[in-house]
């Protein structure tokens, strides 16, 4: 039995943040200190320098790219690699 009702979904690459979370967990379990800069609920304001750099980066036009084609290419590459791996295991 598959994880999902549609077998094609089982062939999709793992969600990137799941991979990152697994890596963080493995490092923590091995005793490594991990500084997680991911999303959270900070209890103090952001440092003024961080806010200034964010504003500075937001004002640079080349930073405003359409990331969808990049993501689609990346997903297609991952899916291709997974399919090739599955075929070679048969």
CB 13 within 8 A of CB 78: yes
Looking at the predicted structure, is the pLDDT value of residue 20 above 70?
yes
Condensed to tens digits (0 to 9), the pLDDT of residues 23-38 reads 999 999 999 988 887 7
Give the chain's length: 90
Place of tokens 């991990």: 34
Global confidence as pTM: 0.34
Phi and psi of 29, rounded to 5°? Answer: -65, -25
pLDDT at 69: 77
Give domain limits for the chain. 7-88
Per-residue pLDDT at 44:
80
- Alpha carbon dihedral 4, 7, 13, 19, in 10-degree steps, equals 30
32-38 LR contacts (CB < 8 Å, sep 24+): none
> Which has more pLDDT, 21 or 40?
21
pLDDT at 77 over 70: yes
- Residue 56: per-residue pLDDT: 94
């Amino acid at each position: 039995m598959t994880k999902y009702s549609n077998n094609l979904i089982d062939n999709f690459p793992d969600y990137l943040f799941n991979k990152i979370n697994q890596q963080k967990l493995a490092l923590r379990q091995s005793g490594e200190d991990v500084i997680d800069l991911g999303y959270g609920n900070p209890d103090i304001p952001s440092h003024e320098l961080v806010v200034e750099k964010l504003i500075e980066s937001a004002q640079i036009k080349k930073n405003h790219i359409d990331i969808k084609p990049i993501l689609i290419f990346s997903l297609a590459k991952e899916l291709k690699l997974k399919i090739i791996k599955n075929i070679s295991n048969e």
